[in-house]
Amino acid sequence: MITNKEAGFNIVPLPKKDWQGTIIPMRYTTSEYYDVAVDRRENGFQVTLEKKEFDKPVSHTPEEYDFPDKLYQEHWEKACAWGVLEGREMIACIETCPEEWSNRLAVTELWVHEDYRRQGIAHALMAVAKEQARLERRRALILETQSCNVGAIDFYLKEGFTLIGLDSCCYQNGDLERKEVRLDLGILRDKKPRLCRDELEIRREREPEYHDTEEMTMRAFWNKHHRGCNEHLLVHKLRDSEDYLPELSRVAVKDGRIIGGIFYSRAWLKKGEQKKEILTFGPLCVDPDWQGTGVGEMLLQETMTAAREAGYPGIVILGEPDYYPLRGFVTCDRFGITTPEGKNFDAFMGVELVPGALSEFGGSFYESEIFEQLSAEEEEVFSVQFPPLEKQYFPMQWD
């Protein structure tokens, strides 16, 4: 696997505080265009797009527009940008912005300097946008281009985009005549069908599977909460901890492949001199190829049932606030439970396996010390044994 650094460039975040207002010198020359025709018919309209040649090449430059492209324009309130730098000079960039009401992610800018094109930079930048859309579970990745920017259109089509709409008077009323019609392109991310329980084997992990489980965990969490991740190292070290509970932990197997896992360990509530043993789990993970198919929910349901039958009072976790409340978890302030520092927040959640078992005790939550024994240096060394993945910033990360 060739990384961007090995290919000769490095994609870095472009923070708003440093790059807002930076002009993007969009310029191109084309000898072709897509001729857009909108014909009124008795029973509706017929719209056609046909590639044709200009009589002579046409060039577009930033100077011809009253509002040149810029990074972090005010109407893109939640934009985020990445780029490639040569020294302090930006030679390529991509900017995205979520369209929250429709759960789509828009590519609002994509540019590569003329001297650096055809080197794979645009492809690598678009891969960042695609990964952001996946991590944020957006249903589509969308963008706008012009019918005369054939080079860009050809690139987008190779990247998997398709036509999703057009606007025949977006820029001027004569866009059709000028052969510069706004085209909307998109990648529609398929919603995966949910798996049935009998399609999975859910069982305890076996020692020969340890490496495969760790690689799956790495792929599941890579760049999700932080740049890179350390959850695969946690799984590795957790197995040797006296607080690990293999009798509750499970992996999900499909067609002989590990595609998910949940790992339990002892935790405690402390109130003064009193101490109560409870459960925590982490990580709960599903391979990216199988996320959204119900694997995580099945792992959670079956292990919670096993924990309840084993007599455990409840579970407290640090997890995703948009996922666990749908599975019965509530914020820990409902139980009178805080972190050791006395804090509460949306990602700090719990569930009672025995009614009243958490709320009647309250106190401060403590997990195994193994969770604090995950240094960045150790993670770097441990990750070498797996296929390399690029560490990258994304806006949903916790730090």
39-89 per-position pLDDT tens digit? 999 999 999 999 999 988 888 776 666 678 899 999 999 999 999 999 989
What is the per-residue pLDDT across 101-142, written as a single tens digit (0 to 9) for each? 999 999 999 999 999 999 999 999 999 999 999 999 999 999
- Report the pLDDT value the prediction gives residue 198, as an integer from 0 to 100: 96
Residue 138 and residue 100 in contact, taking contact as beta carbons nearer than 8 Å: no
Task: State how far the Cα of 111 lies from the Cα of 24, in Å rounded to an integer.
Answer: 7
147, pLDDT greater than 80: yes
Which residues have CB under 8 Å from 357's CB, separation 6+? 278, 313, 314
Task: State how far the Cα of 238 lies from the Cα of 247, in Å rounded to an integer.
Answer: 13
Residues pairing with 38 in the sheet:
47
3, pLDDT greater than 60: no
- Report the pLDDT value the prediction gives residue 64, as an integer from 0 to 100: 65
pLDDT band at 304; cut points 50, 70, 90: very high
pLDDT band at 343; cut points 50, 70, 90: very high
Bridge-based pairing of strands 182-188 and 162-167 is: antiparallel
Residues pairing with 144 in the sheet:
184
Residue 34 has which token pair? 């897509």
State the amino acid at position 396 in one-letter form.
M
Query: Residue 347 CB: number of other CB atoms within 10 A?
Result: 16
Q: Of how many residues is the chain composed? A: 399
Q: Which of 107, 116, 272, 133 is nearest to 185 (CA)?
A: 107
Q: What is the mean pLDDT of the chain?
A: 94
- Report the pLDDT value the prediction gives residue 337, as an integer from 0 to 100: 98
- Report the pLDDT value the prediction gives residue 2, as an integer from 0 to 100: 44
For residue 58, give the H/E element and its range: strand 44-60
Place of tokens 């995205």: 96
Q: Which of 399, 337, 320 is nearest to 137 (CA)?
A: 320
pTM, 2 dp = 0.89
Residue 133 has which token pair? 């859309």
Three-class secondary structure of residue 74 per DSSP: coil
Residue 350 and residue 325 in contact, taking contact as beta carbons nearer than 8 Å: no
Task: State how far the Cα of 181 lies from the Cα of 277, in Å rounded to an integer.
Answer: 65
Task: State how far the Cα of 392 lies from the Cα of 171, in Å rounded to an integer.
Answer: 35
| φ/ψ bin of 137: left (φ > 0), alpha (ψ from -120 to 50), beta (otherwise) | left
Helical axes 210-221 vs 231-238, angle rounded to 10°: 150
Task: State how far the Cα of 300 lies from the Cα of 329, in Å rounded to an integer.
Answer: 11
Three-class secondary structure of residue 91 per DSSP: strand
Bridge-based pairing of strands 80-86 and 89-99 is: antiparallel
Residue 264 and residue 226 in contact, taking contact as beta carbons nearer than 8 Å: no
Q: Which of 8, 152, 17, 19 is nearest to 89 (CA)?
A: 19
256, pLDDT greater than 50: yes
DSSP string of 301-345?
HHHHHHHHHTT--EEEEE--TTTGGGGT-EEGGGGTEE-TTS---
156, pLDDT greater than 50: yes
Task: State how far the Cα of 289 lies from the Cα of 104, in Å rounded to an integer.
Answer: 20
Residue 220 and residue 316 in contact, taking contact as beta carbons nearer than 8 Å: no
